[in-house]
Amino acid sequence: DAGVIQSPRHEVTEMGQEVTLRCKPISGHDYLFWYRQTMMRGLELLIYFNNNVPIDDSGMPEDRFSAKMPNASFSTLKIQPSEPRDSAVYFCASRTSGLQSYNEQFFGPGTRLTVL
Amino acid sequence: GQQLNQSPQSMFIQEGEDVSMNCTSSSIFNTWLWYKQEPGEGPVLLIALYKAGELTSNGRLTAQFGITRKDSFLNISASIPSDVGIYFCAGQARNAGNMLTFGGGTRLMVKP
């Protein structure tokens, strides 16, 4: 079975540019989470979806960040305009709501974003 | 919000030694998870714990859900070089809905 798929794996962009990160969750998983990881702050939850609907976006840093999930197999995290302080590794994770192991989140390989 | 204190922050050990790390919280947790992250990769789930007092093994790894529901421990026996990585605990607090809180990680280095 394929795990969570993220693209691109690496992104280097200049300040002010728009950045779009993509995620395909594990098939059958109905929860999708976006995290950001930095040395200073560790793993931070940005937003999560259930059945394609955003449930909690309180972790989204500011209006420059937006996330969508148009269908069960695809989500995007967009930063516009990007700033150097957005440089981090962004992870997508998914999980099922089934009774067994319902809290176990499975992570993708991450997108390393560098904003110059 | 919930806080998870993970210790130690880093460990540098000799191959073959046993390793212990732990996470503590001021809140009660319903679930404890342990992940390992290797350079350039995402966290990989190692062990999941759902009941207070539960002790679960996965090969050389053993984790326990503390009886107070506020802590968890991970032990690695007879460490090998491929154990190198960052180990994270994560917990779901009683009132946290579907969200996990992550510890700061324990960076493990193993000297052959």
What secondary structure does DSSP assign to A60-111, as a single string?
Answer: --STTEEEEEEETTEEEEEESS--GGG-EEEEEEEE--SSTTTT--EE---E
Confidence of residue A106 (pLDDT cuts 50, 70, 90): very high
pLDDT over threshold 60, residue A96: yes
Query: In B, what residues contact A, Cβ < 8 A?
Result: 30-31, 33, 35, 40-45, 48, 50, 88, 90, 92, 97-100, 102, 104-105
Residue of B nearest to A10 (CA): B40
Higher pLDDT, B108 or B26: B108
Beta bridge partners of B72: B23, B65
- CB pair distance less than 8 Å for B100 and A105: yes
**Chains A–B, number of C-beta pairs less than 8 Å apart:** 48
Q: Measuring CA to CA, which residue among B48, B50, B5 is closest to residue B27? A: B5
* B84-106 mean pLDDT: 88
Residue of B nearest to A5 (CA): B42
Which tens digit of pLDDT belongs to each residue from A36-78?
A: 999 888 999 999 999 999 999 999 988 999 999 999 999 999 9
Q: What pLDDT does residue A99 have?
A: 62
| A74 lies within 8 A of chain B by CB | no
- Give the distance from residue A1's alpha carbon to the nearest chain B alpha carbon, in angstroms: 15
- CB pair distance less than 8 Å for B98 and A48: yes
Q: What pLDDT does residue B43 have?
A: 96
- CB pair distance less than 8 Å for A48 and B33: no
Where is average pLDDT lowest: A12-26, A101-115, B9-23? A101-115
In angstroms, the CA A12 to CA B38 distance is 22
* pLDDT mean across residues, chain B: 93
- CB pair distance less than 8 Å for B98 and A55: yes
Q: What pLDDT does residue B86 have?
A: 97
- CB pair distance less than 8 Å for A91 and B42: yes
By the 8 A CB rule, do B28 and B70 touch?
Answer: yes
pLDDT over threshold 60, residue B1: no
| A15 lies within 8 A of chain B by CB | no
Residues of B in contact with A105 (CB under 8 A): 33, 45, 90, 100
- CB pair distance less than 8 Å for A48 and B41: no
By the 8 A CB rule, do A92 and A26 touch?
Answer: no
